[in-house]
Amino acid sequence: MTREFEIKKEVEVEGTPEQVWDAIATGPGIDSWFMGPHTVDGRLGGRMSIDMGFFQEHSTITAWEPGRHLAYESDKGEDGTFHAMEYLIEGRDQGSTVLRFVHSGILGDGWGDEYLDQSSKGWDMYLFTMAEYVKHFAGRHGTYVFAQWPEGEKSWPALMRALGVPEDAQVGDEVTLEPFGVTGVVDYVVNHDVHQFLGVRGEDGLYRFHGTNAVGHHLFGDATGQAEKWQAFLAQLAGQTSLT
């Protein structure tokens, strides 16, 4: 049985409406804080797509008011399921912006409250990353780098040890991702039994660790070979770690 759903979020961004629009309504902008790569045909009725190889989704733009309002809806599945995204932009004094976001649609069988809880927490992290991108990297377009932990045992403490990051790291701490020699500031932390996220903002990248499943980074320098390096790192760690 299908079910309707709706997730609402609001975030204040230290940037102009034009900068926020570039981040949410262009392919390179979206890739700089969300998954990627995206393509965007920027017009009412235009098409948007994401193609990560193992996952593709295609959508139609249903609202297009530059600097104010963007909405798009994915192609419907055979069972009528779809996802719709809507962004409302409101400029504030002194160059800040409030972004209101709604993710809605229809879910199929097997996608229950746990999925919605994970999606809600995921959007918290992604929209925070968008705000960090606009604040610190506006005008630069990043490359999305994704790597996934291989099948097998996964351990958040082991991942933190391998990165050289204290397990009790807090927002504002300076850390070094030791295997890659990247120094940055911890900007996002969630660490409890069900969900773990770690965000590190470096000079040329936003580094995002999603539980023990994957990394999804946004690199603003040379990203050549980075996905392969991170995949090799996770594969090596998976061969060495245990759940203890």
CATH number at residue 35: 3.30.530.20
| pLDDT tens per residue, range 131-180 | 999 999 999 999 999 999 887 777 888 999 999 999 899 999 999 999 99
* Residue at a domain's end among 137, 163, 185: 137
Give CA–CA dist 101/7, Å, rounded. Answer: 8
153: CB partners within 8 A, 6+ apart:
238, 241, 242, 243
Q: Domain range holding 205?
A: 143-242
| 141 neighbors 131 (Cβ within 8 angstroms) | no
Q: Which tokens hold the place of 37?
A: 């790569």
Give Cα separations from 152 to 30, 155, 168, 239 (angstroms). Answer: 31, 10, 25, 9
| pLDDT tens per residue, range 64-94 | 999 999 999 999 998 899 999 999 999 998 8
Residues 122 and 158 in one domain: no
Predicted confidence band at 244 (pLDDT cuts at 50, 70, 90)? very low
Output the pTM of the full model.
Answer: 0.94
Residues 148 and 50 in one domain: no
Residues 88 and 132 in one domain: yes
Check residue 48 and give its pLDDT: 98
CA-closest candidate to residue 33, choices 128, 147, 173, 148: 128
Q: How many domains does the chain have?
A: 2
Is the predicted pLDDT of residue 1 greater than 90, yes or no? no
Predicted confidence band at 212 (pLDDT cuts at 50, 70, 90)? confident
Is the predicted pLDDT of residue 242 greater than 70, yes or no? no
Residues 107 and 175 in one domain: no
Predicted confidence band at 126 (pLDDT cuts at 50, 70, 90)? very high
Residues 133 and 176 in one domain: no
| 85 neighbors 103 (Cβ within 8 angstroms) | yes
Residue 94 burial by CB count (10 A; 0-12/13-18/19+): exposed, middle or buried?
Answer: exposed
| 103 neighbors 10 (Cβ within 8 angstroms) | no
Please give the single-letter amino acid code of residue 83.
H
